[in-house]
Amino acid sequence: MDKITEIMANPIVSLLLAISTIAGLVLSVILYFKSKKERKLLYSIENKNLINNENHITDNVRILYNEKDVNNLTISKISIWNAGKETVNKADVAIIDPIKLCLPDDCALLDAKIIKSNEPANNVSVEVSKNVVV
């Protein structure tokens, strides 16, 4: 027992024990956050304005979509992904209030489609209704 007391009285051993205790605490916090499972939906929007009514090249050129004049046209690419470590299941999205994109009333949604899906088995689809994409 005297040998243990002698070792513990050594300041170098006390310092090493303190450092290893702090390192163990820091490591346990880091490993907790790394192993924490969560669903984290993120999105990004990339807009490209193709036609702007302020930039009239000439009055003799008309651009139409379904027989209607288009004065301002912007293509928006919206990416949605799960940045979490847990899978987002169908049950995680409310049936009554699904994920949707709503445009202001002063905008007209011309078309919407899925450009890329990483997992075809997810069967992701879009439906357009007025200025809402579901």
CB neighbour list of residue 113: distance below 8 Å, 6 or more residues apart: 126
Grouping H, G, I as helix, E, B as strand and the rest as coil, residue 120 is: helix
- List, for residues 102-112, the tens digit of each pLDDT value: 989 888 888 89
pLDDT, residue 54, reads 67
Q: Of 1, 77, 93, 91, which Cα lies nearest the Cα of 41?
A: 93
pTM above 0.75, yes or no: no
Q: Would you say 97 and 124 are in contact if contact means Cβ atoms under 8 Å apart?
A: no
- List, for residues 12-25, the tens digit of each pLDDT value: 988 999 999 999 99
Provide the pLDDT confidence category of residue 11 given band limits of 50, 70 and 90: confident
